[in-house]
Structure 1
Amino acid sequence: MARKAVAVNIYVVTHPQATHHVDGLVGGWFDSDLTDLGRRQADAIAAELAQEIAGEPVDIVSSDLRRASRTARTIAARLGTEPRQDRDLREKSYGEAEGRPQSWLRERQIPLPPVGDRLRHDEGIVGAETRWQLAERAYAAMRRIETSGAADTIVVTHGGAATLLLAAWIGMPIESSGQVQFGLTSGGITKLHGDARNHSHVIAYLNRTAHLAA
């Protein structure tokens, strides 16, 4: 007998305000922490997800960088579970620019071209990842999330990585992902839904932020 299809919900959370945001520093793999406001925002995210998931078992996976992992721990504590970490959910590495002022990066960075191979573009920053390397990580992470068997999963990550997770979810070829941008903001929640009836991949809502106003 054929196995019954199961609906899947994935909640992609972009971590809330971090110290590098307010200090005007380059993030990437720079291990900044949440600000006091960011911690309050993490509490609001946790409350919003607890209301939506309503006591159902949930898997929580996050980037291992502090601003994301602290957010994941706050959510997990509210939901009575433990998060796990996946380094592939990290933001794009900016190499030697990480932790430096944004102005330092802007003065040296070679801008993305409007056409051509934007994914493999070399920004001219020593040690920085290409967007292709970030895309490979994000696509691999989404494959693991989709096949984990969890009916509800919360993913805590970063803005650039989150865009590529969504591209992977909707089946966009990785070669095309260099052109996409979903405009996700700090502390936003995006719900992805796998429809068990017609096996479609739905973006149920994008970048919900009303909880942050509270």
Structure 2
Amino acid sequence: MTIIVVARHAQSEHHINGLTGGWTDTGLTDLGRRQAASLAMRLKAELDGIPCRLFTSDLQRAAQTAGFISEALNLEPQVVPSLREYNNGIAAGRTVAEAEQLQLAPAEPFVDWRPYPGAETWREFYQRVAGWMETLPLTDDEVPILVSHGGAIKQIVTWWLGIDIDCSQGAAFDTATASITVLRINSWGERALERLNDTAHLYADDLAGTTPLIKRLANDPFNALFRRPQNDA
């Protein structure tokens, strides 16, 4: 069963200090470190014993989150700059108020608007993220775990579901900090969004009863009810 696990980084200093996100490079807060620890324990409960590979954005907030996962699952993280958040150009490192003064006038189509000098357009952002995703081997032998950012995860889901980037305006796939999103190829061979923005681990006192991911998906009654026969072309 082909599965991709995508985790958003935990709470970062820019979240609580009025700074823009994007390529602003700040580390985790105390709460963020607790979130990352809970995220890592959740992934360990679901993926322990399953061959995995760990990939992370090189921005501090993602790399530090990946560090907790690395320790929990005994994985060496591979740094992937293409998994970075949206490149917000000269707005990076600025306060939200400062960035508002730097923003360029909106243009149509939205996906080709460059909001700040030196920034990416939404199309360029999609092409960067999707371009790397196309190189990711999809096999039943191991589960890739990607640690990335809210905007990049939107692009990953858009790519996975085959949504035309020109039709993406006005729609979003929102994810909270330290959340889990799971993509898989189901028993019909379709690219499925199995889970989006799962944060149950951030509110759980005990993860001991967590059903391993592969076992839970294999026993999904929907899959059992609608699974095509093995000889079905």
TM-score (normalised: structure 2): 0.82
Q: How far apart are the structure 1 equivalents of 2:71 and 2:151?
A: 26
| Alpha-carbon distance between aligned partners in 2 of 1:16 and 1:186, rounded to the nearest angstrom | 5
Instruction: Work out the CA distance in 2 between the residues paired with 1:112 and 1:185.
Output: 27
Match of 1:200 in 2: 190
Which residue is equivalent to 2:220?
A: none
Q: Contact 1:59/1:150 (CA < 8 Å) preserved in 2?
A: no
Unaligned runs of 5+ in 1: 1-6
Which residue of structure 2 aligns with residue 40 of structure 1? 34
Counterpart pick for 2:200 among 197, 205, 210 = 210
Q: Is the 8 A contact 2:91 2:102 kept in 1?
A: no
User: How many angstroms apart in 2 are the aligned matches of 1:169 and 1:45?
Assistant: 23
Aligned-residue RMSD, C-alpha: 1.7
1:98 to 57, 79, 92: 92
On the 8 A contact 1:164/1:177 being kept in 2, the answer is no
Instruction: Establish whether residue 160 from structure 1 lines up as the match of residue 151 from structure 2.
Output: yes
| Aligned equivalents of 2:78, 2:19: Cα separation in 1 | 27
TM-score normalised to structure 1 length: 0.89
Relative to 1, partners in 2 of residues 1:185 and 1:110: Cα closer, same or farther, differing over 3 Å? farther
Query: Which of the numbers 36, 51, 75 marks the counterpart of 2:45?
Result: 51
5 Å-filtered alignment, 1:21-36, equals: 21-36=15-30
Aligned length: 204
Is 1:171 the equivalent of 2:165?
A: no
Cα distance in 1, alignment partners of residues 145 and 64 from structure 2: 14
Alignment counterpart, residue 129 of structure 2, candidates 138, 148, 158? 138
* 3-state SS, counterpart of residue 55 of structure 2: strand
Q: Closer, same or farther in 2 for the Cα pair 1:168/1:55, shift >3 Å?
A: same
C-alpha contact (below 8 Å) 2:9/2:61 kept by paired residues: yes
| Contact preservation (8 Å) 1:135, 1:177 | no
Contact 1:131 1:178 in 2 (8 A): no
Larger of the two Rg values belongs to structure: 2
How far did residue 177 of structure 1 move? 3.3
Q: Which moved more, 1:158-167 or 1:139-148?
A: 139-148
